[in-house]
Amino acid sequence: MQIQVGIVGAGPAGLMLSHLLHQHGVDSVVIDTRSREEIEGTIRAGVLEQSSVDLMTETGVGDRVRQLGMVHEGIELRFCGRGHRIDFTDLTGGRGVTIYPQHEVLKDLIAKRLADGGDIRFGVSGVQVKGITGDAPTIGFTQDGVEQELTCGLVAGCDGSRTMTRYLIPSPEPRQDHFRQYPFAWFGILAEAPRSSDELIYAHHRNGFALISTRSATVQRHYLQVEPNDNVHDWSDDRIWQELRTRVDGAEIKEGPIFSKSVLPFRSFVCEPMQHGRLFLAGDAAHTVPPTGAKGMNLAIADVHVLSRAMTRFFAAGVRTALDAYTDTALPRVWRAQHFSWWMTSMLHRMPEASGFDLNRQIAELDTVTRSRAGRTLLAENYVGTPFD
């Protein structure tokens, strides 16, 4: 089968890329080893920047985001028993973020692609990508017991943090992998409870970080900083609620039955370059950020916003200029997001063997940021995200 763009991975990057290409008349096939049910059923939190919501709305996949998403116009930084609000609306000229889970974004994109006649192959196996340095790379796979092959003009590696496409770029040259593993993890829960707060609370405490978040009016998502080797069975419901109350230090926490517990490792990663021959990486296949800055899904959308326009120009006029510049165009935003995520993480989390000096230095930094309009603006502008253009 001849196709203009073969896309490996039906996550946010791959599905959004296929959707944006379709808007410009470029055909694509998306393949994924997971079933549609697995993809739509993987429960993940989601904070959408203003630019991500705007792009979804402009391209016809924003109806449910507007209807069901919760617009947040600020966050609270809490330390030393006091809350300090970062007012996004005031500090960024009216911009904000929307709380909308990643799996709901995937449902929206899958439904739209199928309604538009898009070709998504779920549950394939034996994926092999070959010939990326030639003029006609191929993607081979097996579907329903039948071996198939796509001959592509271009290939997009959008297969997430467990990628295989990234390793098609030779290492150590030209591929350079920048990696940092953090010495802690997040313990995440989903609970049937009313909202504890109208906006997210980021809490610094000597016991460790806590995040009071939300999923809906009746389901809440909260996180605690824990050791990387902690097990969900180590944490009873009573222990979880007690530790959350301790760490938010005076803020009200509304409790309810906990129906999901998970331990999330913390890491930062960037692959450079994000392209090789006719292969182009996007989303978690190219980079991973700690969730503290709420940048993961937004970076994936930003990547494919750049990549879709470059691919469109290539197929419309045979011009590779924008394609060749893809890495140079996308990477500055990636590194800004890495810095912001690292900054939020280092400012709010207790580091192993932290001394009184370290804890008081963090408090001084939080105090500096929240007292200063310039500090609050720096945080707000990075959190809501800069426009894609």
Pairing of β 210-212 and β 219-226: antiparallel
Average pLDDT for the chain: 96
The CATH number of residue 244's host domain is: 3.30.9.10
Q: Is residue 84 part of a domain?
A: no
Report the phi/psi class of residue 80: left, alpha or beta, with left for phi > 0 and alpha for psi in -120 to 50. left
Q: What total number of domains does the chain contain?
A: 2
How many percent of the chain have pLDDT more than 90?
Answer: 96
Q: Is residue 79 part of a domain?
A: no
In the predicted structure, residue 320 carries a pLDDT above the cut 90: yes
- Please indicate, yes or no, whether residues 262 and 275 belong to a single structural domain of this protein: no
Q: What is the pLDDT of residue 215?
A: 87
Catalytic residues: 72, 202, 291, 295, 383
The CATH number of residue 32's host domain is: 3.50.50.60
**Residue 64 and residue 53: Cα distance in Å, rounded?**
11
Q: What is the pLDDT of residues 353-371, one digit of tens each?
A: 889 999 999 999 999 999 9
Q: If you average pLDDT over residues 107-123, what whole number do you get?
A: 98
- Produce one character per residue of 286-297: b if its CB has 16 or more CB atoms within 10 Å, e if not: bbbbbbbbbbbb
- Please indicate, yes or no, whether residues 210 and 66 belong to a single structural domain of this protein: no
Tokens of residue 330, six digits: 């996308």
Q: What is the pLDDT of residues 272-317, one digit of tens each?
A: 999 999 999 999 999 999 999 999 999 999 999 999 999 999 999 9
In the predicted structure, residue 45 carries a pLDDT above the cut 80: no
- Please indicate, yes or no, whether residues 105 and 187 belong to a single structural domain of this protein: no
Q: Is residue 60 part of a domain?
A: yes
Q: Is residue 86 part of a domain?
A: no
How many percent of the chain have pLDDT more than 70?
Answer: 100
- Please indicate, yes or no, whether residues 208 and 169 belong to a single structural domain of this protein: no
- Please indicate, yes or no, whether residues 188 and 249 belong to a single structural domain of this protein: yes
- Please indicate, yes or no, whether residues 103 and 201 belong to a single structural domain of this protein: no
Other beta carbons within 10 Å of 176: 12
Q: How confident is the model at residue 377 (pLDDT cuts 50, 70, 90)?
A: very high
C-beta of residue 292 within 8 angstroms of C-beta of residue 341 = yes
Q: Is residue 89 part of a domain?
A: no
Domain with 125 in it:
2-70+97-179+267-346
**Residue 146 and residue 143: Cα distance in Å, rounded?**
5
Q: Is residue 80 part of a domain?
A: no
- Please indicate, yes or no, whether residues 241 and 199 belong to a single structural domain of this protein: yes
Other beta carbons within 10 Å of 3: 18
- Please indicate, yes or no, whether residues 190 and 321 belong to a single structural domain of this protein: no
- Please indicate, yes or no, whether residues 236 and 288 belong to a single structural domain of this protein: no
- Please indicate, yes or no, whether residues 169 and 271 belong to a single structural domain of this protein: yes
Q: What is the pLDDT of residues 160-215, one digit of tens each?
A: 999 999 999 999 999 999 999 999 999 999 999 999 999 999 999 999 999 999 98
- Please indicate, yes or no, whether residues 189 and 47 belong to a single structural domain of this protein: no
- Please indicate, yes or no, whether residues 359 and 251 belong to a single structural domain of this protein: yes
